[in-house]
Amino acid sequence: MTRIETMAVHGGRDDLAELGVHAPPIDLSTTYPVPDQALGGEALHAWADGAASASSPVYARLHNPTVGRFEQALAQLEGTEAAVSFGSGMAAVTAVLQAACVMTAKPHVVAVRPLYGGTDHLLSSGLLGVRTTYATADGVKDAIGPDTGLVVVETPANPNLDLVDIAQVVRQAGGVPVMVDNTFATPILQNPAAFGATYVLHSGTKYLGGHGDVMGGVVACAERLAGPLRQVRILTGAVLHPLGGYLLHRGLATLPLRVEAAQKSAATLAQRLAEHPAVEFVRYPRPDGVQLRGSGAMIAFACHADPTDVVRGLRLITPAVSLGSVDTLIEHPAALTHRLVPSVAREECGVPSNLLRVSVGLEHVDDIWDDLHRALCDADYVKASLKNSLDLVVAH
């Protein structure tokens, strides 16, 4: 059986030898010649029906060969029949909601918090005509009703890295489709479809691209479910640009190496943070070797000091939202990515206001640690604590 490292390098490149090229070409065409207008019309009709292929791309909103190669490669890594890409991760989430809930007239969603803040906000807003019941991972079955069209989970969860047993959720869901956001784990560490997930979603902006320079989203699923997603993409225009498709495809080739290197550093940093006096607690996944094959490169930790002071004191680590880049990123979820999640709900699902989320990059682990350690020690709370300790020593 072909191993995942090999699939990451060779996926989506089956037609390159026939084309006589080594690197996948970037097709920037917005329209394509259709000398036989009748055949062109048949192709357009096939795309509109959600087909995976047709005799001509006709128009770039319907299909793009460069984007198609990325989709083929991602589907292979996730072990699904198909994948459908979009202009962003949120466009991908929106398409799944439209296909699973709006197009089927089942507007109820059951969601397990925590989720990425944008997903949570979309589900709470009612913007797409859906209503959402938030449940615990073991309470999904009780939350499902006759008009439930989708169950939504994220594991490891954003931002506190909670783990969800996908197979258990699928069993509870019965025949209701389950969407799993696999952004944090990537297909290198976890393949939700193997445990019954209906839709496997990625914000490609993160680890798949891997360099902080491309935005996109993608959903891996069975071919019969890919058709409606393509229809949504065509009608809403939520297409992935060919250059984005090229960069995401290229990113897959180094994905196993990047995940392995960043994960190794993350494990070291998580241990050091757990022993640091300025840190209240650390969240770092413990893989079971079955569903989750590795801990990944994301760390969440709560600090005794004001998180704003800690972030302000960093010099090497980039204070920014997003994740999965070659450089280490840090953000304060309560202030940024999860700001629009109601504070009570956020606290209840394990995301306190003093939590910081770190996406470990490819710098030397000791350089990352030196920056974190200095910022933690320089924060006002820590300096005050040290001063109080010294005062006590002098008093005695």
Cα 139 from Cα 133, distance rounded (Å): 11
Say if CB 120 and CB 254 are below 8 A apart: no
Query: SS3 string of 205-225?
Result: CCCCCCCCCCCCEEEEECHHH
Say if CB 4 and CB 188 are below 8 A apart: yes
- Helix, strand, coil % in the chain, rounded to nearest 5: 45, 15, 40
The answer to whether residue 181 is catalytic is: yes
Say if CB 66 and CB 242 are below 8 A apart: yes
The answer to whether residue 106 is catalytic is: no
- Type and span of the H or E element at 82: strand 82-86
Catalytic residue among 32, 61, 264, 374: 61
Q: What contacts 385, CB < 8 A, 6 or more positions away?
A: 277, 304
Residue 326: half-sphere exposure toward Cβ, Cα within 13 Å: 8
Catalytic residue among 59, 181, 258, 283: 181
Catalytic residue among 59, 113, 116, 283: 116
The answer to whether residue 206 is catalytic is: yes
Mapped onto helix, strand or coil, the DSSP state of residue 200 is: strand
The answer to whether residue 61 is catalytic is: yes
**71 alpha carbon, distance to own chain's centre:** 16
Burial of 127 (0-12, 13-18, 19+ CB in 10 A): exposed
Bridge-partner residues for 203, per DSSP? 217
Q: Is the dihedral of CA 79, 83, 86, 92 positive or negative?
A: negative
Catalytic residue among 13, 69, 206, 283: 206
Torsion of CA 49, 50, 54, 58, to 10 degrees: 80
Active site residues: 61, 116, 181, 206
